[in-house]
Each structure stands twice: as structure tokens, then as C-alpha cells.
């Protein structure tokens, strides 16, 4: 996917002066592939969360089995103690009867043998249960540690994304209220910039204020090399009527997303493999297109920042 994205970016840059509809049709196909991959990442994230819940459920089952085995062991211990007390009583009775009745002595000897055999069997059962209980305890402890580590990694990533959001908000504070918002949702950070901050109507050339905002954003992203960066271009539903270089709103949104990527690539500390440009045209509105205010909100660039989930996937495979 990374190599495909770079290829699309290179083609857009080389053919920005004059591009045929066929090329832009290819771009639309590549965007569909990128969109499908984004959906797969979201599905993978859902599967990771489900795997975590399954691990917690399994942990609860192990705890219940541990508690049951502990109760069985305690019952065996109780039976063992009762048998030992009975044996002690019979030994005392044996001593009292020894002087009076050889028959009674023989009977007590037989009972003692039977009780000793029962006692030995209970000792063996108790030892086996104790071994099984220890094995369950160790397994329960190991699972608990892995679940705790998984929760710690998830919490650390959430905290890192919150810190990233705060850092971006500080870096772009001069542009707040000028068509720029920064939000954190579902473990991701969304930086939304309305087109009035970035582009002239129908254009994909970034203005000076917009370039400054994107460069300041890039300064923060350069300090976070483990973040995947998706730049999405959006338009309203008004048909594009610009020059013949573009076939419509989808092409325009793709060009604008690519323009933002090109500015970010000017920062040598940002890994190009982390960058993805996508155009979504008018098909992901955040407001109504029935009025000018809503259309202005829909004409935007969204920078979606996602933490990499390799470490979480590794822990889930170990559970």
C-alpha cells in the first residue's frame, strides 16, 4: 500500500499540468483500494478489541476454575483431617481394648489398616489437586500479566495520542477559529482544516496561511514517527466547473489532498511511508449541503492520525 500511494503521488505531481481522464480514472481506482485498506484497518482494530474482550472472558473462566479447584482441595483437606482424627480416636480405643479382648484388638487392627489406606488415598488425591491447583494458578497469573500488559499498551497509546492532540493544538493555536479544529476520537486524532484556510475556490494551490499551518503541523508529526498520516480531501456537492484539467469534485479533492502531502514531504524528518493521500469528493459531508454555511464546512482537508498497532497485535497473539 505504501508503494502504491507513493506511485499515485508521483503521477499526480508529474501530470498536474495536463492529465487525461483515463489517468484520473486510475487515481479513482487507487483511491478505492486505499479506502478499502482503511476499512480493513478499522475492522482489524475492532477485531483487536474483540480479542481483548475474549481474553478477559477467558481470564474470568480461569479464575472460576481456580476457585472451584481451591474449594475441592479444601474439602479434601477437611476429609483428610476428619479421617486423621478418627484414626487417632481408634488408636486410643485400641490401647484401651488391648488388655481386655484379643478379638477387639484384631477388629481395631483391621479398621486401622482400612483407615490408613483411606488416609493414603486422600493424601494422594490432595497432592494431585494441589499440583493441578498450582498449575492453574501459574496459568492464571500468566494470563493476567498478559492482559495487564495489553491494557497498559492500549492506555499508553491513548495517552500518546492525547499528548499528540495537545501538541498539535499548541502548534496551531494561531489558526483556531479560522477554519481549523483538532479532535480526538476512537483512539485517533483528527485535524480538520476548512478550504477557506488553504485554497482559493476551485484551486488546489495552497495559500501562504495554509502552508504555514501545514508546516507547523508537520513539525509536530516529525516528532512522532510511529503515527500513520492519512490526508483526506473533501468537497461540497456543487459540481466542479473549473479548468479542463480536472473531471470533477473527486479529482479536485484528490489534488488538494496531494498538495498537503507535498508540503509535509518538504519536512525531511517525516517518513514518506507514513503518508497517504485520498480524495473523497462530496461523499463524506459533515454538514448539510443545502446552505452556504454547511457547504463551507464540507469543503475541507482532514488529517487523520492513527497509532500503529503492531505491539498490540503481538500481545494478542501471545494470549
pTM for the predicted model, two decimal places: 0.54
- Give the residue, 139 or 257, on which the prediction is more confident: 257
pLDDT at 291 (0 to 100): 95
Span of 60-74, 105-119, 246-260 with lowest mean pLDDT: 105-119
pLDDT in tens, 90-104: 888 777 776 676 777
Distance between CA 171 and CA 191 in Å, rounded? Answer: 12
pLDDT at 301 (0 to 100): 96
**CATH class in words for 2-52+163-318:** alpha beta
pLDDT at 54 (0 to 100): 79
Cβ neighbours, 10 Å, residue 175: 19
DSSP E strand stretches across the chain: 180-185, 188-194, 227-234, 275-279, 300-307
Give yes or no for residue 25 having a pLDDT over 60.
yes
- Give the residue, 316 or 125, on which the prediction is more confident: 125
Mean pLDDT of 283-312: 88
Cβ atoms 48, 309 nearer than 8 A? yes
Confidence of residue 277 (pLDDT cuts 50, 70, 90): very high
Q: How many residues does the chain have?
A: 319
Most distant pair of Cα atoms in the chain: their distance: 124
Residue with cell 479529482: 251
Span of 12-21, 32-41, 191-200, 235-244 with lowest mean pLDDT: 12-21
Average pLDDT, the chain: 82
Mean pLDDT of 160-184: 83
CA distances from 276 to 134, 197, 301, 311 (A): 51, 21, 13, 22
Give yes or no for residue 231 having a pLDDT over 90.
yes
pLDDT at 9 (0 to 100): 44
Mean pLDDT of 135-148: 76
Give yes or no for residue 18 having a pLDDT over 80.
no
Residues contacting 157, CB < 8 A, separation 6+: 187, 307, 312
Mean pLDDT of 65-81: 87
Chain centre to alpha carbon of residue 18: 42
CA Rg value for the chain: 35
Sheet holding 275-279, edge to edge: 180-185, 188-194, 300-307, 227-234, 275-279
CB burial class (10 A; 0-12, 13-18, 19+) of residue 8? buried
Give yes or no for residue 15 having a pLDDT over 90.
no
Of 222, 220, 210, residue with least CA distance to 267: 222
Span of 133-147, 164-178, 264-278 with lowest mean pLDDT: 133-147
Domain coordinates in residue numbering, the chain = 2-52+163-318, 56-158
Amino acid at each position: 500500500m505504501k508503494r502504491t500511494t507513493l506511485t499515485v503521488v508521483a503521477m499526480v505531481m508529474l501530470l498536474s499540468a495536463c492529465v487525461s481522464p483515463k489517468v484520473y480514472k486510475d487515481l479513482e481506482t487507487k483511491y478505492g483500494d486505499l479506502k478499502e485498506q482503511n476499512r480493513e484497518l478499522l475492522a482489524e482494530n475492532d477485531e483487536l478489541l474483540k480479542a481483548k474482550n475474549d481474553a478477559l472472558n477467558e481470564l474470568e473462566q480461569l479464575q472460576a476454575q481456580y476457585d472451584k479447584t481451591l474449594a475441592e482441595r479444601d474439602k479434601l483437606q477437611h476429609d483428610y483431617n476428619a479421617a486423621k482424627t478418627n484414626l487417632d480416636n481408634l488408636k486410643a480405643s485400641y490401647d484401651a481394648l488391648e488388655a481386655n479382648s484379643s478379638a477387639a484388638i484384631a477388629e481395631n487392627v483391621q479398621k486401622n489398616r482400612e483407615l490408613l489406606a483411606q488416609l493414603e488415598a486422600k493424601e494422594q488425591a490432595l497432592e494431585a489437586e494441589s499440583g493441578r491447583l498450582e498449575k492453574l494458578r501459574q496459568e492464571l497469573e500468566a494470563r493476567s500479566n498478559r492482559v495487564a500488559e495489553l491494557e497498559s499498551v492500549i492506555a499508553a497509546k491513548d495517552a500518546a495520542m492525547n499528548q499528540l492532540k495537545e501538541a498539535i493544538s499548541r502548534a496551531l493555536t494561531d489558526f483556531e477559529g479560522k477554519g481549523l479544529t483538532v479532535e480526538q476520537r476512537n483512539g485517533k486524532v483528527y485535524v480538520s482544516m476548512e478550504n477557506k484556510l488553504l485554497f482559493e475556490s476551485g484551486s488546489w494551490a495552497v495559500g501562504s496561511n495554509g502552508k504555514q499551518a501545514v508546516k507547523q503541523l508537520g513539525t509536530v508529526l516529525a516528532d512522532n514517527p510511529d503515527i500513520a498520516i492519512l490526508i483526506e480531501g473533501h468537497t461540497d456537492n456543487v459540481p466542479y466547473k473549473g479548468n479542463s484539467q480536472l473531471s470533477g469534485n473527486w479529482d479536485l479533492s484528490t489534488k488538494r489532498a496531494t498538495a498537503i502531502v507535498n508540503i509535509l514531504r518538504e519536512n525531511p524528518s517525516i517518513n514518506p511511508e507514513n503518508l497517504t493521500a485520498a480524495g473523497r469528493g462530496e461523499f463524506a459531508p459533515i454538514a448539510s449541503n443545502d446552505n452556504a454555511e454547511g457547504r463551507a464546512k464540507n469543503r475541507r482537508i482532514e488529517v487523520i492520525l492513527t497509532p500503529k498497532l503492531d505491539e498490540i497485535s503481538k500481545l494478542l497473539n501471545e494470549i
